Amino acid sequence: MFESFLTYRSGRWFWWALALSAVSIGLYAWHDLPDPPNGGTWLGYTLGSVAAALIVWLIWLGRRKRDYGSKVGTVQGWTSAHVYLGTALIIVATLHTGFQFGWNLHTLAYTLMMIVILSGFFGIWAYARYPSRMTENTGGKSRPELYTEVAELDRQLQRLAEKGGPEVATAVASAVERTVVGGSWLAQLKREDRSEVQLPGKGLVSNAGMAAIVDFVIEHLGASRDGAQGEALRELSTLLGNRARLLSRIRRDVQLVGLLRVWLFVHVPVAFACLAALTAHIVSVFIYW
C-alpha cells in the first residue's frame, strides 16, 4: 500500500547508509593517522573518492527524475537512497577531511556540501509536514477548483453590486480587479495580501482581507433607505466575507506550496556550486602534489 520514501522497502537504504558510515568510522579508527591527519593517505583517497562519487550520483537524481521512461528503479527508490546516502556523506566526507578545516578551497567545498545536506533535512521535514496541512486547508480541493469558486463568487458579487447602486458597483469592481494573490517569493511565503481598492473620496487604499471594501459596503448599508437595496448590500457584505475567506485559503495554499519548494532553491544551486568547488579541490590537490 502507501509506503513513504523514508520506509521504502523496509528502509533498505537506511541500512546501507548505516553500513557505509560504520565501515568508514571503523577504518578511520583502525587506520594510523599521520600527524597532522590529511586526505593524502590511502584511506583519505578512498573516502574522498567515495564522497565525490556519491555527490555526483546525488546530483544525478535531477536527471533520473526527468528520465520518465527509465527502467532503473523508481524515483521513490532513488529518493530514498538519495536521502540516506546523502546523510551518510556527512560521516564519509568529514572523515576524509581528517578535521583539517581552514580558510581554503577544500573547506569551501565541504561547507557547500553541508549546506546542501542541511537544506535536504529541511526538505524532509517540509515533505512530512506540509502536505496534510494543504489538504486540511483546502478540504482536498485543487487550486483551479478554488479559483473557479472565486470566479463564481465574483459573478454573484457583480450582480448584487449593481443592485447596491453605481458607487458600490464601481467600488466592488475595483476591489475584484485589484485583488492580488501571490507576488514575489517572499510575498508568497509571508502570505502577504497586497490587494487594493479604489474608493470614492479615499483614493487607492489597501484592501487586505477585503476589509476596506466590506467597511465601505457597510457604510452604505447604514445610509441606505431603500429596502431592496439594503437587502442587496447586506448580502453583498456576506459574500465579500466569503470571498475574503476563500482568498485567504488560496494564499495559505500558495504559501504551503512555496514552503514545500523553497528549500530546493538552496539545495539544487548550492549542489552545483559544491560540485564546482569539489572539482577545483581535486584539481588543486593534484597540482600541489
219 belongs to the binding site for another protein (CB under 8 A):
no
Handedness of CA 40, 45, 49, 51 (dihedral sign): negative
60 belongs to the binding site for another protein (CB under 8 A):
no
Indicate the burial class of 287 (C-beta count within 10 angstroms; 0-12, 13-18, 19 or more).
exposed
Round to whole Å and give the CA distance between 73 and 140. Answer: 30
Region class of 209: left (phi > 0), else alpha (psi between -120 and 50), else beta: left
Containing 174, the helix (H) or strand (E) segment is helix 166-177
Q: Which of residues 42-81 bind ligand HEM (CB under 6 A)?
A: 44-45, 48-49, 51-52, 55, 58-59, 61-62, 65, 79
Q: Which does 109 bind (CB under 5 to 8 A by kind): another protein, ligand HEM, none?
A: ligand HEM
75 belongs to the binding site for another protein (CB under 8 A):
yes
Q: Which of 81, 91, 95, 120 binds ligand HEM (CB under 6 A)?
A: 120
Stretch that binds ligand HEM, among 6-14, 119-127, 144-152, 207-215 (CB under 6 A): 119-127
- Supply the DSSP string of 179-205, one letter for each residue: -----SHHHHHTT----EEEETTTEEE
Longest CA–CA separation in the chain, Å: 95
- Determine contact, residues 62/103, Cβ cutoff 8 Å: no
Q: Is 68 helix (H, G, I), strand (E, B) or coil?
A: coil
Residue ranges that bind ligand HEM, judged by CB under 6 A: 38-40, 44-45, 48-49, 51-52, 55, 58-59, 61-62, 65, 79, 82-83, 86-87, 89, 93, 96-97, 100, 102, 104, 106-107, 109-110, 113, 116-117, 120-121, 123-124, 264, 267-268, 271, 278, 281-282, 285
Residue ranges that bind another protein, judged by CB under 8 A: 1-5, 8, 63, 65-71, 74-76, 78-79, 127, 130-132, 134-135, 139-145, 152, 155-156, 159, 257, 260
